[in-house]
A and B are shown apart, each in its own frame.
Chain A
Amino acid sequence: MSARRDDQADCDLAILGAGPAGAAAAVEATALGLRTVVVDEAAAAGGQVHAIAPGVTPLPRDVDRAGDAMRAALARSGADCRTGRRVWHLERHGDIWRVHALAEPSEPGKGGVAETVTARALLIATGAVERHLPFPGWARPGVIGLAAATRLLKAQRLLPGREVLVAGAGPLLFLVAKTIVEAGGRVVAVIDARRRRDWFAALPAMATRPDLVARGLNWRRELLACRVPILHGHRLAAVAGDAPALHAEVVAIDRDGAAPSGGASVAFRCDAVCVGYGLLPATDATRLAGATHRFDESCGAWRVDVDDDQRTDRPRLYAAGDGAGIAGAAAAPWAGRVAACAAARDLGALDARAHGLRAAGAKRSRDRAARFGAAMARLANVGDGAHAGIAATTLVCQCERIDRAAIDAAVDAGCTTLNELRSATRCGMGPCGGRLCEDAIARLAALRTGRTQAGVGQPTGRPPLRPVDLDALAGEFDYASLPIGTPAPL
């Protein structure tokens, strides 16, 4: 069976992101006869969960078999896998999607090269970003993200420090701590915002994946065997000092994340802090592509709205993986397959019956795995009490140096939406584009306006998706070739 071809497009399906969802989708799509191009900004396929540094060989105990198998399957699939491409803009003209990317320079010292892929269908599988909860000292040298720590430990084989405090929420806490201990570092403590009873309460949902539960329990057991203190129901309140001599202050919190006034605090000395509060769907690409999003109250996050077949409400635009709602790496490949099947159906490569048969099994597996991932996402969603307690002088937007007081003042002056706050204060308008602080700003705005977080809205999706070198895109040109239009009227 082969897709009806459209000569205007380079390919039938373009896939953004070569992580578990994107790679599985590419394998399925090529099997269904779709000409498929996968674009990823990393040097190798894998996404965050299977990231590798091509020049660093993993130690035998760290060999990522699942990741290697995924890369091998992708390489065999016949999909055109273009790594080292940073996508900066998405457009739909007529029936064709245009994916504008900047390819990595061919050699050091050269600029990148502009590249546009046109496709009849587009799958966005760009994964997640880490949620951060601002605290005094989160901009301090020596403090890094939890997801960053996994990246350093696994792909780069680098310890974040010799004596590390690991803090935040969600399963990454234990993965990072266990990996540090295994690699010979010391974890001075694991600070988990969730109480033990919160974990127990999540067990029924987690029971769909007993293998993952067992793996998590093992990590925890290894940490306790190494006498790593694990403080549940605690949160990192502040980090002071200069790396490598950092002082971390940790406080007990209630179910909503709030630290009762006068509550006891615990101090730790460390040379690095790894902190993060779970994952948020990366919605920048789907917003830019014009899809409708929905706020998921239980996970406290926006996600693109997709149907059971991973279709968004934009024509021939699909989303799969954590970007379509945090469901975890186990669910992502199944969601990717479902999306590929839907694209094949919509492009005429599958009839309704064949589509139904082929997608049904993948949907079941996806949904089973997603229950576990969603439970983890809910667990990592520390309540707004933590945000309510952010001090007026605490930086919320690091790029533009905006503290909480400035955000509250803008709300008091009449700003009611995230877009208005961004205009009024510049928060979230720096080089990171708000990807670090958007969640915190939205929660603070919701608290101050008395609206829900859904009510303060999302910022408008705008290009570029990441900063792009102007010259690399503008390239070489003659002045005479510039399409300068009719002069403005006199």
Chain B
Amino acid sequence: MTRRYDIAVIGCGIMGATAALRAAQNGMRVVVIERDAAGSGASGVNAGTLSLQIKRVSLMPYALRGHAWWRAAGDAVGFRETGSCTLAFDAREQALLEERMALKREAGAPIEFLTPRELHAREPAITDRVVAASWCAVDGHADSSRTGVYLRALLREAGVETREHAGATGIASIDGGDGGFRIDLPGGELRARRVLLACGAWTADVAARLGVTLPIRVRVNTVSVTEPGPRRLSAGVGHATGLLTLKQKSSGAWLIGGGWQGRGSPQEGRGEVVAETLLGNWRLARFAVPSLAHVRVIRCWTGFEAWVDDHLPLAGPLPGVPDAWVLACVRGGYTIGPCIGPLVADAMLGRAGDLPLFDPARVLASSAPATAHA
């Protein structure tokens, strides 16, 4: 017999899982379908940075709420509120830093500016080449690799059915009757009244099966980790351009990221690390914290980050397909996911949230502008 659900969520990352949890709280019968394992995509392989300083101004309210969710998750996800600083090494970067951080502070992030002297009093390991720095005490990190285990436990507890390692082989609107969707899985088909596409870099592929072409692009972000080294750094370290995340975990291991690009596409499998860009990332990290010099790198990997031209989320109805919704392309999605996932789940049931969504129709040709708040 075909299983029937109120909502089928495609993608068990931080977006899909937190939407599913809210939908279940709202009394819906929910199934989450995941082609790989829970939290095995961007949610599980990003650098774990929970920094308000690298969030977009327009997304700050979402980031603040998401950040609170991670803090509440606490030890289960390795959450640490270490504070973090953002560094500028020349006048151009200083201007960039001052302009950006002032706007982010206005948007609600508790960011302050530090003089180089104040910075070194806090973090002596940071290079003395810093000309300006900002600081946010609530910034921190979590262990992204534990996302999957954590989400799986929450979903189990909430009674949400999850189908992992179950790539949907087909998805289609059902004409007539009650409408809804038929989803073909390796173990048979299921039906759902509504669907939410929350499958990160794979979202465009699934939307295409429903006849919608989403102009989603994909970045291939690289992260590196070292073996444990002597403890030198308490806070996270970023760069005025946003192109560095550096932290030393409690184990002593250093984690280096910042969106330096590898290669590949979601359709070809895992992305590949490119030596040339990797070295640029390491050099920037090493410049910021010279004591990184003689640490050994033990693993580098990549994760796919989906985005659209205006760098704003796709969060709302899938244009032209009644009862299909999409949630993807959230810049800073690891932090923001736990806020925006539930907002979309509420909207699917016609409940207005206290923060606006981002109408995906805007990215289609001849469509309306984004409905992001001012």
A residues adjacent to B (C-beta < 8 A) = 89, 91, 98, 100, 116, 290, 410, 413-417, 419-420, 422-424, 426, 429-431, 433, 460, 462-464, 467-471, 473-474, 477, 479, 482-490
B residues less than 8 Å from A473 (CB atoms): 279, 282, 297
Q: How far is the CA of A490 from the CA of B146 in the complex (A)?
A: 29
Cβ contact of B56, chosen from A414, A424, A483, A490, cutoff 8 A:
A490
- Of the candidate stretches B133-141, B269-277, B361-369, the one touching chain A is B269-277
A152 to chain B, nearest CB (A): 24
- Of the candidate stretches B63-71, B113-121, B285-293, the one touching chain A is B285-293
Known: A424-B148, A471-B293, A487-B243. 4 other contacts (CB 8 A): A89-B273, A431-B296, A464-B297, A485-B243
Instruction: Judge whether A469 and B311 touch: CB under 8 Å.
Output: no
Cβ contact of B149, chosen from A415, A417, A464, cutoff 8 A:
A415
Instruction: Judge whether B149 and A424 touch: CB under 8 Å.
Output: yes
- Of the candidate stretches B22-30, B169-177, B298-306, B318-326, the one touching chain A is B298-306
Residue of B nearest to A485 (CB): B243
A residues less than 8 Å from B278 (CB atoms): 463
Instruction: Judge whether A423 and B148 touch: CB under 8 Å.
Output: yes
Q: How far is the CA of A98 from the CA of B295 in the complex (A)?
A: 24
Cβ contact of A91, chosen from B40, B89, B270, B272, cutoff 8 A:
B272
Instruction: Judge whether B148 and A420 touch: CB under 8 Å.
Output: yes
A285 to chain B, nearest CB (A): 14
Given A423-B145, A470-B292, A490-B57 in contact, is the A482-B331 Cβ separation under 8 Å?
Answer: no
A residues less than 8 Å from B7 (CB atoms): none
Judged by a CB distance under 8 angstroms, whether B96 is at the interface is yes
Given A98-B275, A414-B152, A485-B243 in contact, is the A433-B56 Cβ separation under 8 Å?
Answer: no
A residues less than 8 Å from B286 (CB atoms): 470-471, 474
Instruction: Judge whether A489 and B311 touch: CB under 8 Å.
Output: yes
Q: How far is the CA of A327 from the CA of B279 in the complex (A)?
A: 38
Instruction: Judge whether A483 and B54 touch: CB under 8 Å.
Output: no
Given A91-B275, A462-B300 in contact, is the A474-B282 Cβ separation under 8 Å?
Answer: yes
Q: How far is the CA of A134 from the CA of B373 in the complex (A)?
A: 58
B residues less than 8 Å from A290 (CB atoms): 272
B residues less than 8 Å from A484 (CB atoms): 239, 241, 243, 280, 284
B residues less than 8 Å from A471 (CB atoms): 286, 292-294
Q: How far is the CA of A247 from the CA of B42 in the complex (A)?
A: 49
Q: How far is the CA of A482 from the CA of B294 in the complex (A)?
A: 20
Instruction: Judge whether A469 and B300 touch: CB under 8 Å.
Output: no
A434 to chain B, nearest CB (A): 10
Instruction: Judge whether A479 and B287 touch: CB under 8 Å.
Output: yes
Residue of A nearest to B287 (CB): A479
Given A91-B275, A100-B275, A488-B243 in contact, is the A469-B103 Cβ separation under 8 Å?
Answer: no
Q: Name B64-117 residues within 8 Å CB distance of A.
A: 89, 96, 100, 103
Instruction: Judge whether B37 and A463 touch: CB under 8 Å.
Output: no
Instruction: Judge whether A470 and B293 touch: CB under 8 Å.
Output: yes
A residues less than 8 Å from B296 (CB atoms): 431, 467-470
Cβ contact of B242, chosen from A416, A468, A479, A487, cutoff 8 A:
A487
Given A423-B44, A467-B297, A470-B226 in contact, is the A116-B292 Cβ separation under 8 Å?
Answer: no
Q: Can you list 18 A-B contacts with CB-CB less than 8 angstroms, sorted by A residue number?
A: A413-B153, A433-B298, A433-B299, A463-B300, A464-B300, A467-B298, A468-B296, A470-B226, A470-B293, A470-B294, A471-B293, A473-B279, A474-B282, A484-B241, A485-B241, A487-B242, A487-B243, A488-B259
* Ranked 4 nearest A-B pairs via Cβ: A488-B242, A467-B296, A487-B241, A423-B145
Judged by a CB distance under 8 angstroms, whether B160 is at the interface is no
Q: How far is the CA of A140 from the CA of B292 in the complex (A)?
A: 31
A140 to chain B, nearest CB (A): 22
Q: How far is the CA of A416 from the CA of B40 in the complex (A)?
A: 12
Judged by a CB distance under 8 angstroms, whether B220 is at the interface is no
B residues less than 8 Å from A460 (CB atoms): 270, 301
A438 to chain B, nearest CB (A): 14
Q: How far is the CA of A420 from the CA of B165 in the complex (A)?
A: 11
Instruction: Judge whether B227 and A423 touch: CB under 8 Å.
Output: no
A293 to chain B, nearest CB (A): 13
A476 to chain B, nearest CB (A): 10
Cβ contact of A420, chosen from B37, B239, B259, cutoff 8 A:
B37
B residues less than 8 Å from A474 (CB atoms): 279, 282-283, 286
Residue of A nearest to B55 (CB): A488
Instruction: Judge whether B240 and A423 touch: CB under 8 Å.
Output: no
Q: How far is the CA of A30 from the CA of B243 in the complex (A)?
A: 46
Residue of A nearest to B312 (CB): A489
Residue of B nearest to A414 (CB): B152
Instruction: Judge whether A416 and B96 touch: CB under 8 Å.
Output: no
Most buried by B among A98, A416, A483, A486: A483
Instruction: Judge whether A482 and B280 touch: CB under 8 Å.
Output: yes
Judged by a CB distance under 8 angstroms, whether B52 is at the interface is no
Q: Name B17-52 residues within 8 Å CB distance of A.
A: 37-40, 44
Cβ contact of B89, chosen from A479, A483, A488, cutoff 8 A:
A479
Given A479-B89, A483-B280 in contact, is the A429-B96 Cβ separation under 8 Å?
Answer: no
Given A469-B294, A489-B56 in contact, is the A413-B149 Cβ separation under 8 Å?
Answer: yes
Instruction: Judge whether A420 and B227 touch: CB under 8 Å.
Output: no
Most buried by B among A89, A98, A430, A464: A464
A residues less than 8 Å from B100 (CB atoms): 490
Most buried by B among A410, A424, A484: A484
A residues less than 8 Å from B146 (CB atoms): 423-424
B residues less than 8 Å from A413 (CB atoms): 149, 152-153
Given A470-B226, A471-B294, A487-B241 in contact, is the A89-B275 Cβ separation under 8 Å?
Answer: yes
A309 to chain B, nearest CB (A): 25
Judged by a CB distance under 8 angstroms, whether B123 is at the interface is no
B residues less than 8 Å from A477 (CB atoms): 283, 287
Residue of A nearest to B127 (CB): A479
Most buried by B among A290, A420, A460: A420
A residues less than 8 Å from B279 (CB atoms): 473-474
Given A464-B298, A487-B96 in contact, is the A91-B280 Cβ separation under 8 Å?
Answer: no
Given A413-B149, A482-B287 in contact, is the A431-B227 Cβ separation under 8 Å?
Answer: yes
Judged by a CB distance under 8 angstroms, whether B231 is at the interface is no
A residues less than 8 Å from B297 (CB atoms): 464, 467-468, 470, 473
Residue of B nearest to A489 (CB): B311
Judged by a CB distance under 8 angstroms, whether B164 is at the interface is yes
Instruction: Judge whether B145 and A488 touch: CB under 8 Å.
Output: no
A residues less than 8 Å from B273 (CB atoms): 89, 462-463
B residues less than 8 Å from A479 (CB atoms): 89, 129, 287
Residue of A nearest to B282 (CB): A474
Residue of B nearest to A424 (CB): B149
A residues less than 8 Å from B226 (CB atoms): 470
Residue of A nearest to B100 (CB): A490
Cβ contact of B37, chosen from A417, A430, A468, A483, cutoff 8 A:
A417
Instruction: Judge whether A424 and B145 touch: CB under 8 Å.
Output: yes
Instruction: Judge whether A116 and B38 touch: CB under 8 Å.
Output: no
Q: How far is the CA of A98 from the CA of B38 in the complex (A)?
A: 34
A residues less than 8 Å from B165 (CB atoms): 416-417
Instruction: Judge whether B227 and A467 touch: CB under 8 Å.
Output: yes
Most buried by A among B153, B227, B239, B298: B298
Q: Mark B317-352, 1 if CB is under 8 A from A, else 0.
A: 000000000000001000000000000000000000
Residue of A nearest to B284 (CB): A482
Q: How far is the CA of A467 from the CA of B225 in the complex (A)?
A: 10
A95 to chain B, nearest CB (A): 15
Residue of B nearest to A431 (CB): B227
Q: How far is the CA of A485 from the CA of B241 in the complex (A)?
A: 8
Residue of B nearest to A422 (CB): B145
Q: How far is the CA of A416 from the CA of B152 in the complex (A)?
A: 12
Q: How far is the CA of A426 from the CA of B299 in the complex (A)?
A: 13
Q: How far is the CA of A464 from the CA of B227 in the complex (A)?
A: 12
